[in-house]
Amino acid sequence: MSTSRVIADALAPIVDFIYPPRCPACGAGVGEQGGLCAQCWDDLVIPSEPCCAACQRPFASASSDGSALCGPCLATRPVHDGIAAGTLYTETSRKLVLALKHGGRIALAPMLARLIAARLPTANPRRLIVPVPLHRRRLWSRGYNQAGLLARELGRFGHGIVLVDALVRTRSTPTLGGLGKRERAKVLAGALAVRGSAKERIKGAEIILVDDVLTSGATSSACVAALKRAGATRVTIACFARVLDEALDTARGSKG
């Protein structure tokens, strides 16, 4: 056991006395710092099989043989090589993301990253882990990139080598909410690129692209395209929460 871990364990009772452990999603009392209460754990929905062979979208039917594609992937084959989502987007996952992204609760990153890591392929220290970047103005105002925090934790779990600055936003972009597919593509055109100093590392590499939430997939697809133009062989998208309302309804029905 490391010295830092011994010190942390020794100070834990004092920290708990001064700051009683609370669920970061709802504020209820819990047994240890950073843990969720039972009700919030129950609200998290973990994606499961059967699922789309290309994007891992959960299927309602259990008859899939593992090679079936979902409707969106049949219509347009994705540029990525798979999606590993720790959870589907629920009220609890939304609260956790907001606490990490806007609430300064950076201590949540290890817990969120563990849920992502459970959905990733076998740990491979030779992979590269690249976070979706923030524009420098947003990074300066927030003080950190939440995707970068999750990427660092995945690196600590042995899933690869973290390249925090491999991707760069060449310009600030507005929120994509409410925009159609063509409008999103227009907004993001040329806005994401591989940093020149990272191109040699990216060429021929297998990459995990990390973000906190995957909604329409427009930003992550633009990142994947930039990485593959630079020579990446495979790019898997890893996120904590994935917005899939139709799959969420099915998953909740099976839990009930």
Both 28 and 139 in a single domain? no
Asked whether residue 59 carries a pLDDT value surpassing 50, the answer given is yes
Angstrom distance (rounded) from CA 1 to CA 6: 7
Asked whether residue 54 carries a pLDDT value surpassing 60, the answer given is yes
Task: Give pLDDT, residue 34.
Answer: 66
Task: Give pLDDT, residue 251.
Answer: 60
Asked whether residue 166 carries a pLDDT value surpassing 70, the answer given is yes
How far is CA 17 from each of CA 8, 24, 65, 210, 229, rounded to the nearest angstrom?
Answer: 14, 17, 52, 35, 53
Both 105 and 138 in a single domain? yes
Both 130 and 20 in a single domain? no
Asked whether residue 117 carries a pLDDT value surpassing 80, the answer given is yes
Asked whether residue 233 carries a pLDDT value surpassing 80, the answer given is yes
β pairing state of 234-242 and 167-169? unpaired
Given phi > 0 = left and psi -120 to 50 = alpha, else beta, which region is 160? Answer: left
Task: Give pLDDT, residue 50.
Answer: 85
Task: Give pLDDT, residue 35.
Answer: 79
Both 146 and 229 in a single domain? yes
With vertex at residue 225, the alpha carbon angle to CA 233 and CA 141, rounded to the nearest 5 degrees, is 115
Both 226 and 146 in a single domain? yes
Both 200 and 251 in a single domain? yes
Mean pLDDT score, 153-163: 95
For residue 164, give the CATH number of its domain.
Answer: 3.40.50.2020
Both 241 and 155 in a single domain? yes
Both 170 and 225 in a single domain? yes
Number of domains in the chain: 2
Angstrom distance (rounded) from CA 184 to CA 49: 30
Task: Give the structural domain span for 243.
Answer: 44-255
Both 29 and 149 in a single domain? no
Q: pTM for this one?
A: 0.87
Q: Is 182 exposed, middle or buried (0-12, 13-18, 19+ CB in 10 A)?
A: exposed
Both 96 and 152 in a single domain? yes
Both 227 and 186 in a single domain? yes
* Residues 6+ positions from 245 with CB-CB distance below 8 Å: none
Both 120 and 18 in a single domain? no
